[in-house]
Amino acid sequence: MKPLLLLQLLFFSYSVPEIAYSSPACNFPAIINFGDSNSDTGGLSATFGPTPPPYGETFFHMPAGRYSDGRLIIDFIAKSFGHPFLSSYLDSLGTNYSHGVNLATAASTIIDQITSLAQGGYSPFFLAVQVMQFSQFISRSQLVAKRGRFFESLMPKKEYFNQSLYTIDIGQNDITAGLDAGKTYDEFIPQTLSAFSGDVKRMYALGARYFWIHNTGPLGCLAYVLLRRNLTVAGELDSAGCSVFYNKAAQQFNKKLNETLVEMRKELPLAVITYVDIYSAKYSLFLEPAKYGFEDPLRVCCGYGGGKYNFDYNIRCGGTATVNGSEVLLGRSCRQPSKKVVWDGVHYTDAANKVVFDLISTGRFSHPPRPLKWACKGDIV
């Protein structure tokens, strides 16, 4: 996308006023979330081992199952409705599902990539599996609730399932998997979005009515993909220093996702579907970092190796090495995470996630331009 066109799009996003309704804001009693590491609050950590320090240091002051130094966008969404942070479906310790559940798992994809974590870095909990887990959760939570008042207090009420806000943030890993396999857009995007459409329709059949669906972010601005490209080639980087190759793929995916949702609104007449342009909100942090209080936006906060990106594939955030018989932390956090956009080369900082939440919750980055607090209102198109 040309810089001038992008700036025009960003200006348009900022200039769209927040929609006002005469009726009260939505009162979602619970939030049901599906996705990957952008919204995983402990799924992969509970399954394959915890994230190491310094993950979680800024807000939780300890690793908290999140791939950030603190909160994720889904955490800010939950708190905006007065709910506690969502417990992961896969976490068996200290969980409370009274106000919803998080099915998201880091490294997840929409389509099963038929590869293990060790081989390809992809989670076995692809979106269709998350939907199956949710189906199980509906029936099992109601059975558990019948065991007594204490158990009932930890489970959502039956009527919550068609009153909840259903949030979805997934697709980034499908894009990198397709590109890394040398596929063209037409070879993986239609198939991926066909599967996505089917999964959302299954959620609808299970009672979901209110959808808040994020498109995929500007993955070409993240160190883990930037270092896969020959950055010395003319035209490889855009004005923000991001990979044109990867961001064009994200833009194409997002275009087709929006088209898919337009069709789904026709097929699911009782659904209220909001498409959220996370791409533009996140890209604005790289394009105009000073405007939001950030500096050197492409440089990783928690990493190793210095250089332009401070990122090393072999020594990630929290990575250690044995020196003279002692374990030494090499993948350290920067001094001021609040000044950084990217946390570990793949994910965003607590501060960046808060800014992005503030941007998208207004409705200025949504289609239709529907604020988060009115995501149950279906009277605008």
Burial-class residue 201 by CB neighbours within 10 Å (0-12, 13-18, 19+).
middle
Buried b (16+ CB within 10 A) or exposed e, 125-153: bbbbbbbebbeebbeebeeebeeeeeeee
Cβ atoms of 4 and 357 within 8 Å: the answer is no
Active site residue 99: no
- In order of 83, 132, 142, 292, the CA distances from 101 in angstroms are 11, 13, 14, 31
User: Which of 13, 37, 39, 361 is the catalytic position?
Assistant: 37
How far apart are the C-alpha atoms of 48 and 71, rounded to whole Å?
21
Active site residue 347: yes
User: Which of 284, 344, 350, 366 is the catalytic position?
Assistant: 344
User: Which of 123, 347, 350, 366 is the catalytic position?
Assistant: 347
Active site residue 36: no
How far apart are the C-alpha atoms of 84 and 81, rounded to whole Å?
9
Measured N-to-C along each axis, helices 73-80 and 350-360 cross at an angle, to the nearest 10 degrees, of: 50
- SS3 assignment, position 211: strand
Question: Which are the catalytic amino acids?
Answer: 37, 344, 347
